[in-house]
């Protein structure tokens, strides 16, 4: 499948995205230093595999993207939320809410493994081995390659199904010896993440 870069979510897709309870989100960055490095690309996808690959133009904040990321009725699902949400704030001045992290969910329920990367989850849940070769390439280029676009899309098209599968696994797990359920623990863990983002932004990594 081929993908195209856009400067913002289309009006048709934003209206569709806003009807969803969850939307998958990921970013590609120029580097990993807050306040120095910028968000180069934002990937969005719903559970119907409607992908938007948004490359902001001239450092302008895409209005439809901001509308989605700040809509409190839609949970934004990231795989490594703390980093993505922090960079969206420092680079684009957008406060993402609400959001959740599937890496946190994986660590809570997949205690039979130490492999909690997105690639590992995609392989276990979808049976697909994705290529991560494009991860450390230059995402600041105005014209990204087909391989980069495919890589970026793969980071979101599986994420909603992974999120729902992890939720299902949590719901099926018996309570711990303390009486608390993994679902309740996850709710507590996810509620801590906005505070951890603030700590990261303010230099407490």
* pLDDT in the model for residue 58: 78
* pLDDT in the model for residue 142: 86
Q: Are 108 and 170 in contact (CB under 8 A)?
A: yes
Residues of the chain with pLDDT under 70: none
Spatial CB neighbours of 79, under 8 Å, sequence gap ≥ 6: 26, 101, 102, 103, 118, 121, 155, 159
* pLDDT in the model for residue 172: 97
Which tens digits make up the pLDDT trace of 157-205?
A: 999 999 999 999 999 999 999 999 999 999 999 999 999 999 999 999 7
* pLDDT in the model for residue 70: 98
In SS3 terms, the chain reads as CCCCEECCCCHHHHHHHCCCCEEEEEEEECCCCCCCCCEEEEEEECCCCCEEEECCCCCCCCHHHHHHHHCCCCEEEECCHHHHHHHHHHHHCCCCCCEEEHHHHHHHHCCCCCCCCHHHHHHHHHCCCCCCCCCCCCCCCCCCCHHHHHHHHHHHHCHHHHHHHHHHHHHHCCCCCCCCCHHHHHHHHHHHHHHHHHHHHCCCC
* pLDDT in the model for residue 2: 81
* pLDDT in the model for residue 128: 87
């Amino acid at each position: 499948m081929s993908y195209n870069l856009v400067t913002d979510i289309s009006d048709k897709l934003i209206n569709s995205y806003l009807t969803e309870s969850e939307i998958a989100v990921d970013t590609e960055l120029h580097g990993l230093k807050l306040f120095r490095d910028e968000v180069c690309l934002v990937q969005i996808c719903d559970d119907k595999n409607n992908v938007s690959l948004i490359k902001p133009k001239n450092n302008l904040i895409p209005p439809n993207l901001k509308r989605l990321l700040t809509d409190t009725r839609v949970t934004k699902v990231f795989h490594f939320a703390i980093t993505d949400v922090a960079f969206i704030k420092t680079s684009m001045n957008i406060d993402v809410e609400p959001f959740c992290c599937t890496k946190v969910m994986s660590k809570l329920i997949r205690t039979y493994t130490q492999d909690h990367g997105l690639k590992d989850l995609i392989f276990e849940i979808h049976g697909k081995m994705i290529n991560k070769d494009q991860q450390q390439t230059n995402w600041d280029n105005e014209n990204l390659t087909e391989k980069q676009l495919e890589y970026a899309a793969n980071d979101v098209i599986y994420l909603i199904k992974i999120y729902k599968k992890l939720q299902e696994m949590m719901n099926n797990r018996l309570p711990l010896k303390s009486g608390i359920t993994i679902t309740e623990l996850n709710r507590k863990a996810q509620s801590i993440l906005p505070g951890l983002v603030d700590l990261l932004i303010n230099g407490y990594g």
